Homo-oligomer: A and B are copies of this chain.
Amino acid sequence: MNNTEQISTLRTDCLALDQQDPLAALRQQFQLPSNMIYLDGNSLGAQPKAALNRATQVIQEEWGMDLIKSWNKAGWFDLPSRLGNLLAPLIGAKAEEVVITDTTSINLFKAIAAALHIQSEASDATVRKVIITERSNFPTDIYMAEGLTRWLDRGYRLHLIDSPEELTSAINHETALVMLTHVNYRTGYLYDMASVTHLAHQHGALCLWDLAHSAGAVEIDLHSANADFAVGCCYKYLNGGPGAPAFIWVPQRHQAAFQHPLTGWWGHAAPFAMQPTFDATPGIRRALCGTQPIVSLAMIESGLDIFKQTTMAAIRQKSLALTDLFIQLVETRCASHPVTLVTPRQHQQRGSHVSFQHEHAYAIIQALIERGVVGDYREPGIMRFGFTPLYTSFTDVWDAAEHLRDILDRQDYRADIRRNAVT
């Protein structure tokens, strides 16, 4: 893909790329509508065909036939850690360090609370009161930190940076926690996890990574980056199903100190002893709280199974080829229109989605959707396109860019419509 300009000129070149693509066959394991080019897997991953069978098994056999026995017999009780262990290799985690449970928001709350608790026991706790994050972070990350610090009412405050470059000057001896999303949901900017974590640690801060837009799309090695905590989403690139429970990673070195206020019975050392006093279980399961939605949880395995058939290196290689191609096609074929690339050009700073700014971004996205090209709109003025190497083809990229060109050339969009900000 060193010479994308030449090879992408023709659709037949993209067909040839698909024929050479070692991941191409994996697309058959997904249910994808034949009349749709789906470029929104960074928001909701496509359906692994195996997911329906898995759900049917859980509903019909495990729930329907074995009922209450399935908590043990079908392993429902162990699902958060068993699935966490399946996910672990995709993010550079070790066994018994990840559980799949609750939502990303709730898991952020646990991790922020635990980080502040650890910092509150340090000798410099009285001055170490700042949580650094990005103003353009996904809002729920900021909201959860806001909600937690306001309630804790112990002088913690948020410092919102406006660009990654501000990190170096922002992190100092007052920083308790650096909390960043590895790949920005809007711009697709990919942080260098190891260097940011190193910088935070140099100043005595802890580092919490939200992998919502990177898990399953980008090579991640939490241990080599020496990260402190991570959370992430299973319904985007991991294809776990709509609203599938999220994950939380706590490395073994932090597990003993991992304390948070959401101390539900699933995090108890002996949940069925029915003791009136909470006694946190020693391992990663102390990040659990209440009873999990088993059908939605179980389907995550169908998504994870597909990753066993390839490597994150192969996925990343194709991801960069797809995003390179899309950037090159839009910038050459739509050159006469005011579309501005928002996503970094450098590979090491780019996740697996590409965003372009345009005054009529919302209307253009609607026009694309009407033609079956599904990307999405994000405030302010962003057209966002996600590329999922497991099922996105090079021809998809070519066709999507061609529809965009045609819509722009013909002004085939309703420039008067605006997004309803509520839904």
Residues of A within 8 A of B (CB): 31, 33, 36, 38, 40, 43-44, 46-47, 51-52, 55-56, 58-60, 62-65, 67-72, 76-77, 102-106, 109, 113, 135-140, 142-144, 146-148, 150-152, 160, 186, 235, 241-246, 260-266, 268-278, 289-297, 299, 369, 374, 376, 378-379, 419, 421-423
Contact = CB atoms under 8 A, between A and B. Distances in A.
B31 A146 contact: no
A111 to B, nearest CB: 14
A273 to B, nearest CB: 4
Contacts of A62: 242
A96 B376 CA distance: 30
Contact of A139 (B103, B152, B275): B275
Looking at A69, A109, A150, the one whose CB has the most chain B CB atoms below 10 A away is A109
B59 A263 contact: no
25 contacts: A33-B64, A44-B68, A52-B59, A52-B60, A52-B64, A55-B295, A69-B374, A71-B423, A72-B423, A103-B264, A103-B290, A103-B292, A105-B289, A106-B289, A139-B271, A147-B261, A152-B152, A241-B294, A241-B295, A242-B293, A243-B293, A272-B421, A273-B421, A293-B295, A296-B296
Given A40-B68, A106-B106, A272-B379, A147 B263 contact: yes
Given A103-B264, A235-B291, A271-B422, 13 more contacts: A31-B65, A55-B55, A63-B241, A72-B423, A109-B262, A142-B278, A143-B268, A152-B261, A242-B295, A270-B422, A273-B422, A293-B295, A296-B296
Please tell me how many copies of the chain the complex holds.
2
A47 B295 CA distance: 12
A265 B143 contact: yes
A105 B63 contact: no
A395 to B, nearest CB: 19
A2 to B, nearest CB: 33
Contacts of A38: 67
B68 A374 contact: yes
Contacts of A137: 276
Given A65-B33, A103-B290, A261-B150, A272 B109 contact: no
A293 B244 contact: yes
A70 B290 contact: no
A293 B296 contact: yes
A146 B278 contact: yes
Contact of A140 (B51, B135, B265): B265
Given A59-B52, A102-B106, A135 B265 contact: no
A290 B140 contact: yes
Contacts of A135: 276
Contact of A295 (B266, B295, B422): B295
A292 to B, nearest CB: 5
A365 to B, nearest CB: 11
Contact of A268 (B31, B139, B152, B369): B139
Contacts of A143: 263-265, 268, 278
B422 A242 contact: no
Nearest to A242: B294
A275 B38 CA distance: 27
Contacts of A70: 242
B68 A47 contact: no
Contact of A294 (B59, B105, B243): B243
Contacts of A376: 68
A391 to B, nearest CB: 11
A213 B148 CA distance: 31
A384 B45 CA distance: 43
